[in-house]
Amino acid sequence: MTAIAALPAARRLADRRTRTILWIVVSLTVVVGVVVVGGLVADAAQQTSLADRNLGPSAAHPFGTDRLGRDLLDRTLAGLRLSLVVGTSAAVLSAVVATALATAATIFGGVVDRAVNWLVDLFLALPHLVLLILLAFALGGGTQAVIIAVAVTHWPTLTRVLRGQARQVIASDHVEIARQLGRTRTQIARRHVLPHLLGHVAVGTVLLFPHAILHEAALSFLGLGVDPAEPSIGVLLAESMRYLTAGAWWLALLPGLCLLVVVKLVDTIGENARALVDPRSHHL
């Protein structure tokens, strides 16, 4: 009876895993498609047509046009691509910092562990957006400044998670045996700690994407982000503010909605990937 009762539960688990993988594939396909199409329309997004300035959505221009007659759909796709590139770069850098600090804190312990813990608490206590603005301003703005500012401010939470996972590895029996066999701290980190953290690092990196993308848009909106000549979503939203009172609602609404959809898709990829990696997840 127990074996028979376990069959429907196993079938439900397999179905949930299949749906989860399907959601990841669909979301990833859409995101990759945005990156590819955004690269293809990059030149078209810069083409001006003064005779078509501030046109509303139509068959010829589904998202309308801006103050210089540029097609807003092309500019939105190019802006989303730029946001994804910046978000990817910042998230990867944050993950590298988090992995290095978590591994060092666990392997060396003592003063190093306390120093890392103090840094994590310090960065988590600081106002996030204010720190982002100060760093971007100090670095002079631009795409590189945004990547650095976002990367520097997004590693603490992931560091805390990885540190907890690394501690479990260090406390395991096979690591203790490795110590007794004369393995150095570097060898233990490379052969035991880092391989165990790879899955968590990958999921954590994906989960950092939405925050990185939104903060890039916020900094660009404030004029501290990417070059204003680039069609990033933050730049598009900043430019739209002066025309909203004239009724040009499409300049802000449509790019903003597209940004939220892409952020949600990336977040869906991360959440579903975490559900696959973590066997204790309630999503499966």
Alpha helices by DSSP H, the chain: 2-40, 72-108, 110-125, 128-138, 143-153, 156-170, 173-180, 185-188, 194-221, 233-240, 250-277
C-alpha to C-alpha distance for 82 and 232, rounded to whole angstroms: 6
pLDDT in tens, 5-41: 454 655 655 666 777 778 778 878 888 888 898 888 8
Tokens of 274: 């975490």
Q: Yes or no: say if 83 and 37 are a contact pair by the CB < 8 Å rule.
A: no
pLDDT of residue 115: 92
Amino acid letter, residue 107: I
Backbone angles phi, psi at 62, to 5 degrees: -55, -30
pLDDT of residue 14: 61
Q: Which segments of the chain have a pLDDT < 50?
A: 1, 3, 5, 7, 282-284
Q: What is the CATH number of domain 15-43+63-277?
A: 1.10.3720.10
- Quick one: CA torsion of 198, 200, 203, 209, rounded to 10 degrees? -90
Q: Yes or no: say if 261 and 20 are a contact pair by the CB < 8 Å rule.
A: no
In the chain, what are the domain boundaries? 15-43+63-277
pLDDT of residue 284: 42
pLDDT of residue 1: 44
Specify which residues 65 forms β-bridges with: 71
Amino acid letter, residue 156: P
Using alpha carbons only, give the angle 214, 71, 256 rounded to the nearest 5 degrees.
25
pLDDT of residue 5: 47
Q: Yes or no: say if 207 and 154 are a contact pair by the CB < 8 Å rule.
A: no
Burial class (CB in 10 A: 0-12, 13-18, 19+), 77: buried
pLDDT of residue 9: 54
Specify which residues 71 forms β-bridges with: 65
Its pTM stands at 0.80
